[in-house]
Chain A
Amino acid sequence: MPECSPSPWLESMRSPLEAIVAVLSRHFDYISVLGTDDSGFSCRAVPGETSASEPMWIQRGFVARAQSKGLVVEYSFNEELGDVAETSRRIGERLDALISAQAGGKLYPPLPDEVAEQRFIGRVAIDALSADPEPCLARLAAIRDKLLGAPGVVSAMARADFVRVSRCFISPGRDLFQCFDWSQAYLFGVARRAGLAKSSYRVASGLLGLEVLDLLEPELPGLATEMSDLLEAGHVEPGEYDVILCPDMAGTLAHEAFGHGVELDMFAKKRAKAAEYFGKRVASPIVNMYDGASGTSHVGSFLFDDEGNFGTKTEVIKDGILVGAFSDGLSALELGFPLTGNGRRQAYDHKAYARMTNTYFASGAASLDDMIASTRHGWLLDRLDSGMEDPRNWGIQLVALIGKEIKDGALTGRIASPVFCSGYVPDVLGAISMISSDFELSGSGACGKGYKEFVKVSSGGPCVKTRMNLG
């Protein structure tokens, strides 16, 4: 597979950035600059219209981080660097002003700056960014039209996003560069009959180029059938049930429960209940859970994070015991935890937080058929709609667009939509009784922190069987 082509502009900025960092390093106890140039394009086909635009992730700019007498501040900008002396003066003045205004603020130990020089260039089968958009638009329009022809479907939309990430991180000790592509493709449908309307979707994503469309197109027949079935869907009678979560639902359980729950900056704010549970049981003994930019290859993978720390793989839960957390640089420093390379920003003009990358349960030994056969009365839940975390109080919310009823070990054919799932995290994880041998990651959504700060992540793993409150 051919290598991705890094941003020539960002490559050309490395030398001036090194010179600026050298000047500023004489003034600050710590200085670094992250440079970003993420490019890309989107193709979209809705009823009666096709268009090309850009994904929300496009950005180009810099963020300088400085430390002086323990205070840490940041300045984000996207203008031309220009003359080294003048630019250094301008950045230095802005950082100095921030430090002055922050007097009396939190003092951090000296930020580390271990020497490292590395470069990573990813590979994809078909470079989307240099391709003619016409075939992509035509393929999306074709699956849109086929879905529109399905019974009950009144609206359909097909979309594909292609992003090339180019980042450099320069500090006195570090010279890092990475470039890789990721992509995602969606097919959405809306079915309506009388006043009843239902929607569903299929997605494909990964460190891929145009070949992502090859993964989406085969999903069309299943979605068309599902849209028709959804118009017959009813509701779940409220109550606690055995549930089998398909990989996208199970991965979001991992993400919301002990993904957000072990983001180390939440420990620093004393907002994470997980801080009291290290070395203690938080899940059934068959549960193992991981997060990491390395260790698996998906949209949350990278060489280094947005603070210049190398991506790693963190074992979060081992045999049901909480054993790990993942860190941004500042919270690791404050709490004495290892740097795991999870300091991520939505863009150069956003703060870095401890964020997830690829989050998943490890596979088990069961099959989905075994899990269904073992269920007396429960629901097989698929097509994630949304999830929400509660790291302090360990509530959890998952919403599935598709619930399939199971009775006496078999699917009854009854469908519910949507299905709201809630529970208390240790109860839900503690009740996990079977884990399938499948492994499937999905990275078509975005993860927020609070009400904002979106980053690209994947989540998934196997199917898991547990108990949750449904409504």
Chain B
Amino acid sequence: MMIEAVIAALADCPGVSDWRLSELRRSGSEYFLVRESLDMSRHVEAIDYRLVVYVDTERDGKRLRGEAAVSIHPTMAAAELATVVSRAVFAASKSHNPWYPLPEAVTSETRRPSAFEGREPAEWMPLLRSAFYRGQVRDRARAEDPEARVNSLELFLSRRETRILNSRGLEASFSAWRGYVEFTVEAEGKEGKEGKVELTDAFSFSEPDFARFELETAKRLALVQDRAVAAALPSGIDLPLILTGAAAADVLGYWFTNCNLARVYSKSSPFSMGGAVQDPSTLAANGGDLLTISAESELLGHPDSAPCDPEGCGLSRVVLCEQGIVKDFVGPSRYATWLGLPVRGDYPLFSVAPGSHSESALRSIPHLEVAYFSDFGVAADSGDFGAEIRLAWLSDGKTRRPVRGGSITGNLFENRDGIRLSNALSLSGPMFGPSSLLLPKVSITGAE
């Protein structure tokens, strides 16, 4: 009903050249657990609307376009709606950018529904809770390992229905389930400064994969046991760095992010079509791997999988970078138009082709492998990366010992011709790609 009311308000408002309206209906349950006890539960029912209006003008014979985006709330009455639409049109009329068309109607691909479908989020919550806590009752791998447990866990599950319409007849709709869990696990640490130690992280999911949930808890408990016995990272270390999981996705995400048209158009990206992002000759000498990266519309188990982008552009895999050469860009359609490139859509997910190194080969040389950082980050502009270390392993290529503290820093431009990728693949954050990667040039600051 609100959609019809917005369309009516747009029809009554002079000056609208085009519009796009999205509706998101969400129904979700939330559990906040401390130890095993349910501290609080919450339920959310909401509908969010977002309207983008486009106003065309002409200057010096050139067709120009301005846009403005506003939130529409389901509690807006007709008079307020008319005011909001009118103000958005006024704001859009104040921007005079080169003209660009809206995406035309697309045929959405049929997607397999999530296995969560068929029950309400609230009905799944006790089952999810049980699965995550089952990982806690596994036997300790070694008798000398410190006892580890879940300190707290926040669990979210929502069903989300999205509908996108525009004034050019586009209409797309799809539903998705979004699960999210944030863990804190703890173990009794060594005497001294540390005392009890903890690790915190989170992941998203879209399928009721209970076996995986149990393993995810068990995996984190094993890691916090290592954290509990870790020694301070020594100073004076000069070793290559191995990253896994979310940090590996952040590193490879640098290339994906810089293949976005918004960054290309604003010249924030250093990449150009057909340009090399690596030097093959140097790479070969360093035993590195050439990067092949694709934008993905769907990664099994990832809640950001979608058949179309926020503009309603239909999505399917796009190869962005093949063997170290930029092949394509993705991003908002206006940038594609302005750069004279085909409209591919805007993607949140990506994949990276496997490298040439087995997991064991990557680890066969002395290295530092970091499992947990305080807050690992890669600067998209500069390629600078770094963070404080919460848990790492110092390895001579044969045996490894857990260490903590200190930090690593480096730059991806300086590492791009030596980066080594594992041939094993996994889902980490927004990436399906190498489970591990090695960066040869990093600066390591010890904690001692």
Contact = CB atoms under 8 A, between A and B. Distances in A.
Partners in one complex: yes
- Residue with the highest number of chain A CB atoms closer than 10 Å, among B41, B92, B270: B41
A396 B373 CA distance: 11
A395 B390 contact: yes
B135 interface: no
Contact of B43 (A52, A76, A195, A395): A76
A45 to B, nearest CB: 9
Contact of A392 (B197, B270, B374, B383): B197
A134 B96 CA distance: 11
A162 to B, nearest CB: 12
Given A52-B68, A76-B45, A271-B198, A47 B97 contact: no
A98 interface: yes
Contacts of A77: 44-46
A42 to B, nearest CB: 9
B336 interface: no
Contacts of B97: 48-51
Interface in A154-211: 154-155, 157, 190, 192, 195-199
A471 B43 contact: no
A143 B41 CA distance: 48
Interface in A35-75: 41, 46-54, 58, 60-61, 72-75
B445 A269 contact: no
B154 interface: yes
A222 interface: no
B214 interface: no
A79 B47 contact: yes
Contact of A78 (B47, B92, B413): B47
Contact of B42 (A53, A58, A73, A132): A73
B283 interface: no
Given A52-B95, A54-B70, A397-B374, A61 B46 contact: yes
A452 B377 contact: no
B356 interface: no
B407 A469 contact: yes
B95 A137 contact: yes
Given A269-B184, A271-B198, A469 B406 contact: yes
Contacts of B319: none
B46 A198 contact: no
Contact of B40 (A72, A155, A396, A452): A72
B402 interface: no
B69 A75 contact: no
Contacts of B202: 450-452
Contacts of A424: 193, 405
A190 B269 CA distance: 10
Contacts of B74: 78-80
Contacts of B44: 75-77, 349
15 contacts: A52-B88, A60-B73, A75-B43, A78-B47, A79-B47, A104-B38, A105-B38, A154-B267, A157-B266, A199-B381, A199-B382, A269-B34, A273-B195, A349-B46, A385-B377
The 4 closest A-B pairs by CB, nearest first: A471-B445, A388-B375, A105-B38, A397-B388
